[in-house]
């Protein structure tokens, strides 16, 4: 029976390795530091009690609330199921299967390449420079044939670095009439001055992805945004599903974008950034730590001596990190989401136990 079904599967899907999300990897953790979630919850209630009607495809009050937050017009905003849906919709709308290509620059977020593989779109992998993790503009420019989309994560996940604004601007100029540049700003609230939002008017080929999952502490509702000029947004309206945002999600998302909630988000960011700085300082003084990489987000990348032993020891003791050893340039590296202060203290305590053995 299995063989009778398997032969029906698209050839590019048969051997596809799915994205290993934090929950898919599993673990019996008490301290989850592997998904870049906020350790500080945000609490909302809803008065919605009737669910017999479909929601709006693009809830007007949510669109206007987010447009006000980022300083754009309503027709420059598309609301999606997390930023992940934005990645997928762009490939669906702009890339011809089997013909066109995307560029992505590892080490970075894997879903750019996975979505391309699912859609049978070619992938041009152009790694960042090893020592700086900055994009290789010269190599990107020489590989633009048939490329429709270039995905840049900024701050980059999992390295935490900022891509130089001058390089992004040069990339936008290089690709002005041939490709779209997609800047994934999922973590930008932790380093807001580095946003490309002010350049949307100047560069029609610029697209920005955002989310409420990180700084807004709403990973559980799956709500993100694609920001672009209205012509691109209109095209994405053609391929998005009829009812992507549930009524309750829209209601909570709107609440998260009021003045008080935005202030709470900014306070949360300050606290998490403070925890990050404390954690970096503590890790830098532990003998098992080979290098702590500077981060502009709510996670840090750390290179360890005996990284496997550390990862397993923490896993066994209920502290779940993200292993990055398999990625290009990230040998012996673990990514650590910034937890609460008490979680950071517990993490350091457990690592020191191994360090003192």
pLDDT tens readout for residues 6-35: 888 888 888 888 877 665 666 677 899 999
The whole-angstrom separation of Cα 163 and Cα 165 is 6
The whole-angstrom separation of Cα 139 and Cα 117 is 22
Q: Which residues contact 284 (CB under 8 A, 6 or more apart)?
A: 292
| Domains located in the chain, CATH noted | 2-40+261-355 (3.90.1150.10), 60-259 (3.40.640.10)
pLDDT tens readout for residues 234-281: 999 999 999 999 999 999 999 999 999 999 999 999 999 999 999 999
The whole-angstrom separation of Cα 140 and Cα 125 is 9
Quick one: CA dihedral 313, 314, 317, 320, positive or negative?
negative
- The answer to whether residue 1 scores a pLDDT higher than 80 is no
pLDDT tens readout for residues 194-243: 999 999 999 999 999 999 999 999 999 999 999 999 999 999 999 999 99
- The answer to whether residue 150 scores a pLDDT higher than 90 is yes
Answer for the pair 62, 254: CB distance below 8 angstroms, yes or no: yes
Question: Distance of CA 20 to CAs 35, 88, 108, 302, 324, Å?
Answer: 11, 17, 14, 20, 12
Lowest mean pLDDT across 12-21, 99-108, 170-179, 264-273:
12-21
């Amino acid at each position: 029976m299995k063989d009778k079904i398997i032969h029906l599967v698209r050839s590019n899907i048969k051997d596809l390795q799915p994205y290993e999300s934090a929950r898919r990897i599993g673990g019996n953790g008490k301290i989850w530091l592997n998904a870049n979630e906020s350790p500080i919850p945000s609490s909302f209630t809803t008065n919605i009690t009737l669910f017999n009607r479909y929601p709006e495809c693009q809830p007007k009050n949510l669109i206007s609330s987010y447009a006000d937050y980022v300083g754009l017009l309503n027709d420059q905003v598309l609301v999606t199921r997390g930023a992940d849906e934005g990645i997928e919709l762009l490939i669906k709308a702009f890339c011809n299967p089997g013909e066109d290509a995307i560029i992505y620059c590892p080490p970075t977020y894997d879903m750019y390449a996975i979505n391309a593989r699912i859609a049978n779109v070619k992938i041009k992998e152009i790694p960042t420079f090893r020592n700086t993790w900055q994009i290789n503009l010269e190599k990107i420019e020489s590989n633009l044939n048939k490329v429709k989309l270039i995905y840049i994560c900024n701050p980059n996940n999992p390295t935490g670095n900022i891509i130089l604004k001058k390089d992004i601007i040069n990339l936008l100029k290089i690709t002005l009439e041939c490709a779209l540049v997609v800047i994934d700003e999922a973590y930008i609230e932790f380093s807001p001055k580095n946003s490309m939002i002010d350049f949307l008017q100047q560069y029609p080929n610029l697209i920005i992805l955002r989310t409420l999952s990180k700084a807004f502490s709403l990973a559980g509702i799956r709500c993100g945004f694609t920001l672009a000029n209205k012509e691109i947004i209109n095209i994405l309206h053609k391929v998005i599903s009829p009812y992507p945002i549930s009524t309750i999600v829209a209601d909570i998302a709107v609440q998260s974008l009021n003045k008080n909630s935005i202030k709470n988000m900014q306070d949360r960011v300050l606290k998490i950034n403070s925890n990050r700085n404390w954690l970096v300082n503590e890790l830098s003084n532990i003998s098992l730590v080979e290098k702590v990489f500077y981060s502009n987000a709510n996670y840090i990348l750390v290179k360890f001596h005996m990284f496997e032993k550390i990862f397993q020891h923490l896993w066994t003791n209920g502290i779940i990190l993200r292993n990055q050893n398999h990625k290009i340039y990230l040998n012996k590296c673990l990514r650590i989401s910034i937890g609460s202060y008490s979680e950071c203290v517990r993490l350091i305590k457990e690592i020191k136990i191994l360090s003192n053995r």
